[in-house]
Structure 1
Amino acid sequence: MKIDLSGKTAIVTGSTAGIGYAIARGLAQAGATVVVNGRSPAGVESAVSRLRRELADASVRGVAADVGCIAGCAALVAAEPAADILVNNAGIYGPQDFFEIADEEWTRFFEVNVMSGVRLSRAYLPGMLQRRWGRVLFLSSESALNIPVDMIHYGFSKTANLSVSRGLAKRVAGSGVTVNAILPGPTLSDGLEAMLKEEQEASSLSMEEVAASFVMKHRPGSLIQRAARVEEVANLVVYAASPQASATTGAALRVDGGVLDSIA
């Protein structure tokens, strides 16, 4: 199967590092014109430069905008008024006990993890519908179904991603536009590496080995028994964004390493 996204414009929010960067790279490698997004102008410029170094023929540009707020979403849409592929990847996470999570933190998680995708989908879907082709993808998580006790606010926001994506898929039914959610499991992203760096440096193990130990401690049901690579998550996103995935919509697509103990 050869995925060709030539002539398509893809916006990937939160794509200066980690899973988002891997998604941007995968889409660019498939021929899409990719818009990199992040909050920091320096971070966006660095990611765009890196992509151009890694992929000589890549068509890539960047927009610095904080999509976790109304003004930031508006700024992104003003800079990039149209898209064929929208990947709502921007998100935040962090462990915190339920009884210590203030209202403001619940609101922050909701704004960044949920409303960014709501606002951008509302902005870009009409153009996709008019062109009778489009792909909208929400980066959810296995935590949407396996709610982590130390990150209930995060799990709640990721469950909301599933509700929005399923509802939007039904709203645009029969239009040639698909809407899906991607559910990664534990993934060796920049964030996980930073969290495990001190432990790794104090050991004789590689980062991959430390990450595998972390996964088996906190997600012992993992069937791959390691952290996924960011490229493995990106591969599923690129497929779901492709013409080949035209019959896949309204789905919660798992790339969780088998963490979720379910056959459905």
Structure 2
Amino acid sequence: GKALQAGTSHFLGQNFAKAFDVKFTSKEGKQEYVWATSWGVSTRLMGALIMTHSDDLGLVLPPKLAPIQVVVVPIYKTEEQLEEIRNVVDKFSGELKAKGISIKFDDDEQAKPGWKFAEYELKGVPVRIAIGPKDLEKGQVEVARRDTLEKQFISLDNVGTEVAQLLEDIQANLYNRALDYRDTHITEATDFTEFKEILDNKGGFISALWDGTEETEEAVKNATKATIRCIPQAFETPTEGIDIFSGKPAKYRVLYAKAY
């Protein structure tokens, strides 16, 4: 229910240049302090990714960002069974790789299938495929999706097509789930009493009118610890009404929130 500033850019002016004595030679041959910008695409975005999608079992990674998109866990007792499984997996593995999908065949003999299942759930691999001798007899594989933990059986003939589609479905589901969470946690406040009640009991973003002055924003921050996070493009046009704190004519509709 809090805001996280991430992926932002800032004009830093010459403050850091003066603090660290960073200069350049101008066209006129003079030493001047550099004008700096900051582009904040860093580890904080990874933190946002983890907080947005993950659960108590571990990471949940969107397929387009997952280093391993599909993991295959063979279930076998003999080397002959493993070899038979490997030959079958090589066929649909080739199909998936041809579609640009990263796939791992985990034949590590030091860990049992159950341990591997838990490990790949923890790591957030979007799709897990389990296949054993009985599955080969039935011409199928068991497919588990990380986002909903649902399992289904897919025909060996359709693995390449259906798993590729499943990855697209998972990507869309994670996006829509996060978008819905965000939208349901944007609440409009019409006065300051309502503003504080929303902040204390629901959290999230608060849509409110602002008079456009730093003084008002600072006063709201001192009273509630909430600050203006952004002026959404949809809100940029002048708005009729009054600021919920100062009572002055409003210039913008903005989103307030407490930040981490």
Q: Which has the higher helix share?
A: 1
Q: Report the TM-score range of the alignment, normalised by the length of the smaller protein.
A: under 0.3
Greater relative contact order, per chain length (Cα 8 Å cut-off, separation 6+): 1
Provide TM-score, normalisation by structure 1. 0.19
Larger relative strand fraction: 2
